[in-house]
Amino acid sequence: MKIMVMVGETVPDFEANAYFPEKDEIGKLRFSDYRGKWVILAFYPADFTFVCPTELEELAKYYEEFKKEGAEIISVSTDTAYVHKAWHDTSPSIKKIKYPMLADPAGKISRLFGTYIEDEGVSWRATFIIDPDGKVVSMHIHDNSIGRSAKEILRMLRASKYVREHPGQVCPASWEPGKETLKVSLDLVGKI
């Protein structure tokens, strides 16, 4: 039976090696150390590939924006932390990364989140937004041939923060900060 964390569930603690580009070191990353922060887990299939560096570079471009929102980005693949370091040292796109690069060579974390492709030994491209209590509020898993948008992940993070901070409010399609929200009410049923 597959174990998979779903929306609304709390992520169990886990620990794995990671490459920390800001310190240029390999060390342990414990998920519970990020409690109290929003976390973006960005799963991708493999280092030294094609679509992956474009996504990770775009996340690096928006990293400061995510940090301003109280969020940490953690990228995850089934490569080792040493491969992450080698990729960071050689790729112009990956050199821009400052967020932790988690190593999942046994696929345990990918299996926990339901992203592991058993026949290939890699992860699907997937994004999880996790709130400060460790609860999954958003998950998006898709085909590895399609790149994701850091801008959209940031928008989803901001919407997730807004509804957490404003109980009874919901964000309509393509909501951006400053735009109108909706108040949950029977008065709206059939009127939108």
DSSP 33-70: GGTTSEEEEEE-S-SS-SHHHHHHHHHHHTHHHHHHTT
Q: How far apart are CA 127 and CA 7, in angstroms?
A: 12
Q: Is 171 in the active site?
A: no
Name the burial class of residue 96, with classes exposed (0-12), middle (13-18) and buried (19+) by CB atoms within 10 angstroms of its CB: middle
Q: Which of 5, 18, 41, 52 is catalytic?
A: 52
From first to last of the 192 residues of the chain, give the pLDDT tens digit: 356 899 989 999 999 999 999 999 999 999 999 999 999 999 999 999 999 999 999 999 999 999 999 999 999 999 999 999 999 999 999 999 999 999 999 999 999 999 999 999 999 999 999 999 999 999 999 999 999 999 999 999 999 999 999 998 888 888 888 888 778 765 656 556
pLDDT at 186: 58
Q: How far apart are CA 40 and CA 30, in angstroms?
A: 14
The pTM score is: 0.93
CATH number of 15-165: 3.40.30.10
Q: What is the largest CA-CA distance in the chain?
A: 58
Q: How far apart are CA 9 and CA 39, in angstroms?
A: 14
pLDDT at 41: 98
pLDDT at 172: 82
Q: How far apart are CA 149 and CA 183, in angstroms?
A: 28
**Coil vs helix vs strand at 82:** helix
pLDDT at 180: 80
